[in-house]
Structure 1
Amino acid sequence: MEGLLDYALRDALTAVGGIDRCVSEFIRVTGTLLPEKAFVRVVPELKNGGRTRAGTPVRAQLLGSDPACLADNAARLASLGPAGIDLNFGCPAKVVNRHGGGAALLVDPPLVGRIVEAVRRAVPAEMPVSAKMRLGFDDDALALDCAQAIEAGGAEELVVHGRTKAQGYRPPAYWARIADIRQAVKLPVVANGEIWTVADAQRCLQESGCDALMLGRGMVADPGLALAIRGAVEPVAWSALMPRIADFWQIVGTRVEARHRAGRLKQWLNFLRRVHPAAEEAYQRVRTLTDPAAVAGALFGGAHGV
């Protein structure tokens, strides 16, 4: 998720556990062959065998609309050793859609298929190629056509967010519509959207007919959610999360401009306070602070740098 689930947060969440693999923020491809450093900037895990420090595989996600250019970039990206390459057909951001990327592609199933086919041909056969889509742009009339185009293009897996671009992130997610897609294709389909609790996960699995889930904002709000879905008896306590938050802050300090560091921490704490009462107190402690040193002092006693 652009601007949220970056390298620092992937590192923290996968350290908590329960995650099979994760997908990077998108790497935007707009008519040029990107240098290797552009891929590594978004996916530093490429320097660690395509895995987070906890050992969780990371697929690198590409976003664009030109099949040939995406194929060239996918080939270079594949040479860097990600755990797979994912294609973005779901981003609802206006700036992305205005340039024909993300969910805007869902109005043109043949183009979606050509993109997948070009990327699949460009990377080694053993390199997984997957895709993520929404149900559509303004409506879901072409949902099955897009899913079938992705399958015909050679993708090994499809993640479906159960809302259209027009529906944004407004509840509910239409998990039953994912079931229609699952019936229309033979490749594995993963359900996504509005999964905040174990009960949500169970209903999503039942309504979608899928046997795998992708967690987004729900995992950010409750880092123990994946473990809970897997049947963990004890919830992940706040005391166990504090070291992960400290690690997150350390990474933010090395990768984010000083003026933006406090905002990144507050962004995560704002999600965490949906589930953890202690996060509310932590959020209030740093809410008005912008200086990294002051934030570190307020939350970590100054022991975790700036």
Structure 2
Amino acid sequence: MRLLLAPMEGLLDFMLRDVLTRIGGIDHCVTEFIRITNTVLPKRSILRIAPELQNDSKTAAGVPVKVQILGSDPICMADNAAHIASMGAWAIDLNFGCPAKTVNRHRGGAVLLDEPELIFDIARAVRSAVPASIPISAKMRLGCNDTGKMLDCARAFADAGMQELVVHGRTKVQGYKPPAYWHHIAEIKHAINIPVIANGEIWSIEDYWQCRRESECDDIMLGRGMVQNPALALMIRQGEQEKLSWSQMQPWLLQFWLQVQQHVDARHQGGRLKQWFNYLRDEYPEASEDFAMIRTMTKADEISAYLFADRKAA
């Protein structure tokens, strides 16, 4: 059984990956997607999304990190994957799951699930360009508008040489609206001969076990549930219902805030912290109170004085 931390563009960046993997329970992570267009990206652009490449492809806690790329041109995807591999990537992941309209409009992410032949060409080109010692995986949804090409897409990934496949249990048009249709993931699992990892709508230990039963997958990828409850992976592993207390969360919040202040432009620092608090308040009443107080604050010093006076980082 493995627990993976999902890529979430604009939310689960390297700073939050660092904190959540320090808290524990995660086997490996995947970066936010790196958008590939018509050129080989410079190292600085790749390191901005995947700075863990400078630490043996691991977070500070020692958790391996896959670098995820997104695009529709097989040659450009292959060239960039080879470049990322040369930078020391532990593994590379291909994004065919993003439902964002701006991404889909430029032929990226889940919209390509209507084109299983192109999916095969991209996956095969990347696999051929990267040394065999570096695993290549992919992430997909159940389809674009419906599930009609779901199995064709899954077989395209398997036939192209992907080592494993993450499946988010909704189509592009279903977005993130509950429920996730985990039983369809089981259909995919039975149709291909590579490991399948289930993803989508896992907020609790009960959700985890229900997902495992319906998807028939041993390995699970956690996303928004981990952002809302940072101890979720540990709770699943230990079979315990008790989350971290709000007091226990304070050093981790401070750890994150210090990184935000170091890496994020001053005008966006408050917004980045508020974004996490917005998720935490569904789990912690105290977070709702703090969020209400800081939501109108714009200066980092003001936020620090209110939230983190006399608190120490983990």
Q: Fold conserved (TM > 0.5)? A: yes
Distance 1:77 1:135 in 2: 28
TM-score normalized by structure 2?
0.95
Partner of 2:228: 221
* Runs (5+) with no aligned partner, structure 1: none
Partner of 2:105: 98
Q: Is the 8 A contact 2:229 2:243 kept in 1?
A: no
Partner of 1:243: 251
Distance 2:258 2:85 in 1: 29
Q: Is the 8 A contact 2:197 2:221 kept in 1?
A: yes
User: Alignment partner for residue 36 of structure 1, among 36, 40, 43?
Assistant: 43
User: Alignment partner for residue 174 of structure 2, among 162, 167, 170?
Assistant: 167
Q: Is the 8 A contact 2:251 2:312 kept in 1?
A: no
Partner of 2:29: 22
Give deviations 1:213-239, integer Å, cap 9, x for gaps.
000001000001111111253422222
Partner of 2:165: 158
Deviation of the 1:282 alpha carbon: 2.0
AA partner of residue 107 (structure 1): D
* Runs (5+) with no aligned partner, structure 2: 1-7
SS in 1 for 2:167: strand
- Within 5 A, what are the aligned runs for 1:117-136? 117-136=124-143
Give deviations 1:3-53, integer Å, cap 9, x for gaps.
000011101111110000000000000010101111101011111110001
Distance 1:52 1:19 in 2: 11
Deviation of the 1:135 alpha carbon: 0.4
Deviation of the 1:100 alpha carbon: 0.6
SS in 2 for 1:230: helix
Partner of 1:299: 307
Distance 1:44 1:282 in 2: 30
SS in 2 for 1:61: strand
Deviation of the 1:75 alpha carbon: 0.5
Partner of 2:86: 79
Distance 1:76 1:262 in 2: 34
Partner of 2:3: none
Deviation of the 1:83 alpha carbon: 2.3
AA partner of residue 253 (structure 1): Q
Give deviations 1:40-72, integer Å, cap 9, x for gaps.
010111111100011110000000000110000
| Equivalent residue pairs, number | 305
AA partner of residue 137 (structure 1): C
Bigger RCO (CA 8 Å, 6+ sep): 2
Is it true that 1:282 corresponds to 2:303 in the alignment? no
Distance 1:235 1:220 in 2: 13
